[in-house]
Amino acid sequence: MIPNALVKEFRKAKNIVAFTGAGISAESGIPTFRGSGGLWEGYRVEEVASPDGFNTNPVLVWKFYDERRKNIFKAVPNTAHTVLAKLENYYNVWIITQNIDGLHIRAGSTNVIELHGNIWRVRCTSCNYKDINEDVPLKDLPPKCPECGSLLRPDVVWFGEPVYDLEKAFHVAENCDIMMVIGTSAQVYPAAYLPLYAKQHGAIVININPERTPVDDYADFSIHAKATEALSSLYQKLQEAFQEE
Ligand code: NAD
Ligand code: ZN
């Protein structure tokens, strides 16, 4: 599954970036969004993941996020998350994730850019109040700001909203030797441009996904496998390689 030429690239590399999507958390039991017939865990996406949807029915939106929080609360990081954390022992690693589940941080990765925010954070719709809220289930929906009384919303990025830390993400993409793209359909721009940008700045691009995605058109290596299988094989090969050194 892992060609020797790929191991060779890792032997030369110093800076690694992993760009991850919902697929990396699928094996932790967190459903991805695509392929569900326009429904997201039984809800219409535009109703529960857009500013308009929130203005129309904040309680419905909070119920949806409450369900997702219950599911994510039960989930634990899988081998793919933990291998990425362990790579920090050998490389300068940055994770750029589109996921809001916080599993990379729980797995022990330290440099994590969460482009779409984090489901355990809430923020006020009027003032600058932000906080961590880990109540499962949430109490008294919809929650209100303790400072000004306005509605609190999940601190996640919805359709039509700008992503967080994009400039920083492009900066690390520009400066990496290897860009691993894991479990993302790579269809949501501008984030989907990150691997191509890395490639244009000299990085080796590896796509890890059981399905073909647009990244395969320019990736140096395509590994059509599940994230846990691909990452555990890769880690085993790398350890063998490091022992030889
Ligand atoms: P996505 O665009 O990242 O697509 C999921 C990809 O994962 C698909 O290409 C699929 O082939 C692949 N995949 C499925 N199982 C896999 C596995 N075991 N290993 C590797 N790859 C696998 O994400 P999406 O589901 O289309 O969601 C769009 C957006 O919704 C995301 O960018 C994210 O912000 C949000 N979302 C987040 C989570 C989460 O936090 N875990 C879950 C669902 C959706
Ligand atoms: Zn407030």
Domains and CATH numbers, the chain: 4-29+77-116+162-244 (3.40.50.1220), 36-74+123-156 (3.30.1600.10)
Q: Among 81, 104, 116, 171, which one carries the catalytic annotation?
A: 116
Q: Predicted confidence band at 6 (pLDDT cuts at 50, 70, 90)?
A: very high
Rounded CA gap, 1 and 22, in Å?
22
Handedness of CA 20, 53, 120, 71 (dihedral sign): negative
Cα 114 to ligand 2 centre (Å) = 23
116 catalytically annotated: yes
Cα 152 to ligand 2 centre (Å) = 7
pLDDT for position 34? 65
Rounded CA gap, 79 and 62, in Å?
31
Cα 210 to ligand 1 centre (Å) = 12
Greater model confidence, 46 or 99: 99
Q: Predicted confidence band at 43 (pLDDT cuts at 50, 70, 90)?
A: confident
Mean pLDDT for 37-41 is 64
Cα 154 to ligand 2 centre (Å) = 13
Using CA positions, which residue lies closest to atom 9 of ligand 1?
Answer: 185
Mean pLDDT for 72-101 is 97
Ligand 1 site-directed mutation target among 20, 27, 32, most atoms within 8 Å of CB: 32
Rounded CA gap, 206 and 9, in Å?
11
pLDDT for position 25? 97
Using CA positions, which residue lies closest to atom 11 of ligand 1?
Answer: 211
Checking if the pLDDT of 220 tops 90, the result is: yes
Which residues are near ligand 1 (CB < 6 Å)? 21-23, 25-27, 30, 32-34, 98-101, 116, 183-185, 187-188, 209-211, 213, 226-227
Sequence-separated (6 or more) residues with CB below 8 Å from residue 178: 9, 10, 13, 15, 16, 17, 203, 204, 205, 206
Backbone dihedral angles phi then psi of residue 120, each to the nearest 5 degrees: -90, 5
Residues that place a CB less than 5 A from ion ligand 2: 124, 126-127, 129, 145, 147-148, 150
Q: Predicted confidence band at 36 (pLDDT cuts at 50, 70, 90)?
A: low
Q: Predicted confidence band at 183 (pLDDT cuts at 50, 70, 90)?
A: very high
Checking if the pLDDT of 38 tops 60, the result is: no
Sequence-separated (6 or more) residues with CB below 8 Å from residue 60: 43, 47, 48, 53
Backbone dihedral angles phi then psi of residue 84, each to the nearest 5 degrees: -60, -40
